[in-house]
Structure 1
Amino acid sequence: MNDMQRMTGLLVGAVFGAVFVVVNAQSPLNSVAAILLKVAACVGAVGVLAMWFVSARGERGSAEGAQRNMFSRGYLFVVAAEVILLFGGLRVLAIWGRPVEGNVAWVALVVGVHFIALAPIWKDWSIAVPGVVLTVLGAAGLVLASTAAVAWVPFVSGVLSGVVLLTGSVALGWRAVTARTA
């Protein structure tokens, strides 16, 4: 995977992380905390977008050798399985009459597993770390959805998952941009 493919992956992670935060930062959180989280998430995503443009500008002038395509057959298999699990699982949760708050927990769990599955395909074990964290946050949310703390599921599985994606994207993007300019 070349630098621009990695930066594009980080940008996708940052956008989804921001969406996780913006959609799920709500009650029972204090409204000021919710607004601050939403603003910080958007700033983080815009920061990764800026780093993507810096990398793209630097990429134009460099001639890298042949790079492995990140969209291999293995990648397509993982994404197809992810789509089936996402929509199938959401349907099963609805049929079982589970609280709607559990949906974000299921999404976080499946997205986390997708990162873990992609790590050996891309030979990039750094993506397994947020994968494990998202999987744990998703599982925790599914457990919380069966308790009196169900209102906290969007925070635990949504906001915290978004923060993990954004933090990882910003940190790895910053490392890539500063390494390139050094």
Structure 2
Amino acid sequence: MIARFAGFFVASVFGLAFVLINSGPPLPSGVSMGVRGLAVAAAVAIVGLAVLGMRKESRTEAGDASAGAPRFGAFFGMVTTIEVLLIIGGAQTISRLDSIPDQAGVAWVALVVGLHFFPLAWHWKQPEILTVAWYGTVLGGIGLLMALLGHPDWVPLVSGVVTGAGFLLGPLVVLVLMLRGTGASAVSQSGSSPSPK
């Protein structure tokens, strides 16, 4: 049962981390605090709604509750390992090259996180994950271009805060729709959330 909702929990962690780490300057301090507060509230709501969803399914769903759930086996482990190695290697490379602003590291992380969803969507046969994949990849790529073209100050907002907000808002909307019954059958058939893991 929990495997079907694991993506929601992971999305809340990733989204919250992206927002909390990157919602600083050039945003005014008051705005930063507000954005962080909203992110915490969204993450808590995701966890609470996912727990409610699991309870609802355990009462109403017959048969194997794990059918269609993401499989966290060797392929998932390989993709995650490559993701971590690329993030660490890219961050170290960026920090050592004076020609690349440090803010490019945020964009690199968003790019790699976005890219790692593509093989998972294929392996799990869950095309809805492609939305998250494209979202993170595009915002990461935009941030890298901004950093390389001499506009690094807003990269944490674009590739960090906006990416994190999407990772929080997407699953939150799907959970609300699931619990209201709208679109619940589609998610139940696929056994997935729109989030990656």
Q: TM-score, normalised by structure 1?
A: 0.89
Which of 36, 47, 54 aligns to 1:38? It is 36
State how 1:23-62 maps to structure 2 within 5 Å.
Answer: 23-61=21-59, 62=61
User: Deviations 1:41-97 (Å, cap 9, x if unpaired)?
Assistant: 111101101112212323443453263552132212211111111111112222323
Which of 104, 108, 115 aligns to 1:102? It is 104
Q: Give the conservation status (yes or no) of the 8 Å contact 1:7–1:173.
A: no
Q: Gaps (5+ residues) in structure 2?
A: 185-197
* Alignment partner, residue 166 of structure 1: 168
Shift of 1:174: 1.7
Q: Gaps (5+ residues) in structure 1?
A: none
% identity of equivalent residues: 33
Q: TM-score, normalised by structure 2?
A: 0.83
2:67 and 2:146 map into 1 onto residues whose CA distance is 43
CA RMSD, Structure 1 to Structure 2 (Å): 1.8
User: Given residue 166 of structure 2, which amino acid in structure 1 is its aligned partner?
Assistant: V
Report SS of the residue matched to 1:80. Answer: helix
Residue 111 (structure 1) aligned with residue 113 (structure 2)? yes
Shift of 1:30: 2.0
* Alignment partner, residue 189 of structure 2: none
Q: Give the conservation status (yes or no) of the 8 Å contact 1:11–1:169.
A: no
* Alignment partner, residue 80 of structure 1: 81
Shift of 1:32: 2.2
Q: Number of residue pairs matched? A: 178
User: Given residue 129 of structure 1, which amino acid in structure 2 is its aligned partner?
Assistant: T
Moved over 3 A (4+): 59-64
Report SS of the residue matched to 1:28. Answer: coil
Report SS of the residue matched to 2:101. Answer: coil
* Alignment partner, residue 67 of structure 1: 67
Report SS of the residue matched to 1:29. Answer: coil
Which of 174, 177, 182 aligns to 1:175? It is 177
Shift of 1:131: 1.0
